[in-house]
Amino acid sequence: MTLRTDFAQHYGPWALVTGAAQGIGAAYAQRLHSMGMPLVLVDVLAEQLETTAQQLRSSGSAEVRTLVTDLSDAAQVHDAVAAVADLEIGLLVANAGIGLVGRWLDVPIERKQAQIAINCTSVVILADGLTRKMVERKRGGVIIMSSGSADAGSSYIATYAATKAFDRVFAEGLWAELSPHGIDVTAVMPGATATPGFAAALPAGLQPTKVMQPGAPSGVVDAALNGLGRKLNVRPGGVLVRLMGSAMSRVLPRKVMIGLGDKAVRGMYERGAGPPPS
């Protein structure tokens, strides 16, 4: 499956990408900018965000704007929407997320609440603020980053998996309601991906297990952009992601499927000293 030839025109002119300073978000920014799309990059990491923006500006002529925004603060998210009111945002990539890894009782409640705010609440605010004009124009695209973990709960990532299940179902609901207006919506459900957050969560001195080998961010981005308007759920990733989304998952008892995913996660993080403190 190849990217539609009129992608930048159909979903442009501007794209807004959250969590754009590094990892998958930066890979989205690079890919979209290479197609000539002007960008609004949103992240709380001000210095890294500007570094990413400058790299893009030096590699192409499309405009790049930055918005330093704490997406855990709803007021700042609303301010970000207001800040781009003068732009024709045709593509929203809701990529930002906190992927905390830790034993349930060890993760502070404030961190769990921040996960919900960033992974869920900010996505709703951005979609509400940006899809209204897309509907008026009768075209647009929304990519919401879910996760392969959205299929089932698991130890060490209970809150994260729940937020990503929300993202998946939210994207599906937007698709049902907005597709008649010409708006394409896709939920992306990647497996382990080689991002700074993934690396930071590994037990000290240890490499990923065989079943949790991370893929490249560029692979996730290519699958997402190719799937927009063609697939409701895009599943780039390894064997575990494919298994959880397969027909087998609808045949086996729910507890069995949860157990399979839980075993893979425990196998990753119940080693050495375990994941670093959240």
Q: What domains, with CATH codes, occur in the chain?
A: 7-269 (3.40.50.720)
Q: What is the pLDDT of residue 247?
A: 53
Dihedral through CA 112, CA 114, CA 120, CA 122, nearest 10?
180
Measure the CA–CA gap between 138 and 179, rounded to whole angstroms: 9
Q: What is the pLDDT of residue 163?
A: 98
Residues 6+ apart with CB under 8 A from 17: 25, 28, 29, 32, 39, 40, 41, 42, 93, 95
Q: What is the pLDDT of residue 131?
A: 98
Taking CA atoms, 45 is separated from 118, 151, 226, in Å, by 14, 30, 28
Q: What is the pLDDT of residue 170?
A: 98
User: Between helices 23-34 and 46-57, what is the axis angle to 10°?
Assistant: 20
Tens of pLDDT along the chain (278 residues) come to 688 889 999 999 999 999 999 999 999 999 999 999 999 999 999 999 999 999 999 998 999 999 999 999 999 999 999 999 999 999 999 999 998 899 999 999 999 999 999 999 999 999 999 999 999 999 999 999 999 899 889 999 999 999 999 999 999 999 999 999 999 999 999 988 989 999 999 999 999 998 888 899 999 999 999 999 999 999 997 655 666 665 556 677 889 888 988 998 999 999 998 999 87
Measure the CA–CA gap between 76 and 278, rounded to whole angstroms: 24
Measure the CA–CA gap between 170 and 232, rounded to whole angstroms: 11
Tell me if 29 sits within 8 A of 17, measured CB to CB. yes
Q: What is the pLDDT of residue 141?
A: 98
Measure the CA–CA gap between 90 and 253, rounded to whole angstroms: 41
